[in-house]
Amino acid sequence: MLQGQSAGASRRGKIRFKRVLEAILILACASALALVLFKGWDHAAATFDRLWVRSWAQPLLVLAQILMVVNLAAMVWRIYLMCTYRPMPGCRDEDLPVVTVVVPAYNEGRQVAETLRSVLASDYPPEKFQIIAVDDGSQDDTWQWMQRAHAEAPDRITLIQQPRNMGKRRALYDGFKRGSGQVFVTIDSDSLVLADTIRNLVTPIARDAKVGGVAGNVRVLNRRQGLIPRMMEVSFTFSFDFIRASQSRVNTVICTPGALSAYKRDAVMPVLDGWLTQTFLGKPANIGEDRAMTNLILESGYHVLFQRNAMVYTEVPTRYRNLCKMFLRWARSNVRESLAMTRFIFRDFRTTPKSGARVNLMLEVINLTLMQLLKLVGLLWLTTLPLGISLNLLFGALMGGGILALFYAIRHRSLASVWGLPYGVYNLLSLSWISTYALCTPHNSGWLTRQQTSGAVRTRPPAWGWRLAATRAGAMASALVVGSSLAWALTNPMTQPLAKEIAQPAGPVTATVRHQGMPVWTVRATAMEEVPLGLGPITLSGVDMVLYSEGRVVSRVRADQAVLNLEDSKSFTFKGRVRMNPTHRAKQSELSSLSS
């Protein structure tokens, strides 16, 4: 008994230490981010001024400003929609429709059995519940695990085995054809649902005849298996609880996720054959089946909503290569189906309001086209202003990651929100190429995600434990290092442009250069011509320069003219008469150093 009490006290002590450590690191990261935000705006403005003087860059800078305003307005609009969103509470048993749950699987191994067991445990009337599991020609023991699950409930699970791998779209098609439900629910074979998930998911369809599809709320099942799943948990929360919640308020969720979706039978059957045989540029469209089905249901005039209280936990890749495969598949599907959506979205495709759906599509198109153009231009600008552009990109990445972290913290009251900060930088450095590449290769359906399974299986959503504290602390410390390094770069005088006072028309000029907060020299003169910030040389007349050493005035230089070169370490070349008057406190060594 004493040993049990001692173990309990030790466990509580570890938990308290973990929380204190995380709180300290989060505070440090927040402080670094605040410093970056405070100094970053000035640096961004200075970099903008340096680029503005180049005539070829001006149209692109104007475009960037317009897009920034558009995205800020879209963010405010979506915040309002998200704040006014409310999920529908689950229906009573007598109001629930007959449901067919289709679970397609390929090389899933034992995990498919756990998925089917989680579905069997649903709080749903058995007489209104049909489960169809489809093995899409797996090359491992997936079929054997399906049979084990079937043996546990032979009267509730129907098995289908494809003769070869024919793709997820075909597996879903066969499940829909065999299903008898009024509502089809699709669940990925690497996902787990909660007891009330399916009840909550189908409720909008049961209560509103205009609803043809419903998107579930996807969370990460394997978030204890590395840094990538932990970052994806924060990203998924923003994607569903914010983006899809706002889309649901205008009755147009653009994509119902493959991990968990519900479709009204009357909306699916008329478009099912066309969905199966869909092509893109003459080739079968064997990716993006979830986005394609959503488009067809929207085009038929139905609403597509999001149910925040319909939770599903799904596996995400744990390695960079597999994460790229997943994102590339999604990005290509987004390109294809955004083009397909333009065919009907500006027509009178339904009787209810359509403006919100159109705005969301236009935002998608802007992201797919103009934002990718600015990415490429940014790479070119890196060659002319490498430090300024790099710092601005990191500044933007930390801002984006900070938004994800803030939303996750508000939504879940969890310290795990800190993973949004490293994700912002990780996305910039490792994933930002994907959307541009997908735009250039939308016809390619290769490089998919599914692999041979390793035998590991998860039976319930994970909880954060003490064993994660070390890796979480390491990631937060990394975020702190990145934020602090960027803050140092933004505040260090050696990396900053001259004071904005130089960027002015011809006339009186005053400029001060500081090092570690102390003045090095101050010059007062008259500019002979209008010179923008960041370019030189600048011709000055009536020059009066004061030199400092350790904060003390050591000399004063007067000259008829001087040439200030801002691109050459801010060097001066004096012309005409030059008078140098050292103060009596200046040492000869200081004057020699200044003269050199």
Same domain, 258 and 153: yes
Choose the most confident range, by mean pLDDT, from 221-230, 300-309, 394-403.
Answer: 300-309
5 inside domain: no
328 inside domain: no
Q: Tell me which of 45-54, 57-66, 447-456, 533-542 is least confident.
A: 447-456
Quote the domain boundaries for residue 568: 499-595
Same domain, 72 and 104: no
pTM above the 0.85 mark? no
- CA triplet 432, 496, 566: central angle to 5 degrees? 115
pLDDT classification of 131: cutoffs 50, 70, 90: very high
Instruction: Look at the chain and report how many structural domains it folds into.
Output: 3
Same domain, 297 and 389: no
C-alpha 251/C-alpha 511 separation (Å) is 56
Q: Tell me which of 95-99, 193-197, 246-250, 469-473 is least confident.
A: 469-473
Read out DSSP for 179-196?
---SEEEEE-TTEEE-TT
Choose the most confident range, by mean pLDDT, from 360-374, 384-398, 437-451, 461-475.
Answer: 360-374
Same domain, 136 and 158: yes
pLDDT classification of 282: cutoffs 50, 70, 90: confident
Q: Tell me which of 56-70, 163-177, 266-280, 334-348 is least confident.
A: 56-70
69 inside domain: yes
Same domain, 535 and 476: no
Same domain, 479 and 508: no
Same domain, 378 and 426: yes
Same domain, 479 and 516: no
453 inside domain: no
Query: Which tens digit of pLDDT belongs to each residue from 568-595?
Result: 445 667 777 777 766 544 444 443 443 3
CA dist 258 to 214, 218, 558, Å? Answer: 11, 10, 74
C-alpha 85/C-alpha 237 separation (Å) is 15
360 inside domain: no
345 inside domain: no
Same domain, 516 and 560: yes
Same domain, 103 and 192: yes
Q: Exposure of 579 by Cβ count < 10 A (0-12 exposed, 13-18 middle, 19+ buried)?
A: exposed
340 inside domain: no
- Cα radius of gyration (the chain): 30
pLDDT classification of 238: cutoffs 50, 70, 90: very high
Query: Which tens digit of pLDDT belongs to each residue from 352-399?
Result: 999 999 999 999 999 989 888 888 888 888 777 777 777 778 888 888
Which stretch of DSSP H or E encloses residue 437? helix 433-440
- C-alpha torsion angle, residues 396, 399, 403, 409 (rounded to 10): 140
- Here the CATH number for the domain that contains residue 218 is 3.90.550.10
- 97's tokens: 């429709």
- 200's tokens: 């909550």
Same domain, 516 and 479: no
8 inside domain: no
Average pLDDT, the chain: 81
Same domain, 123 and 145: yes
Report which of residues 99 and 401 the model is more confident about. Answer: 99
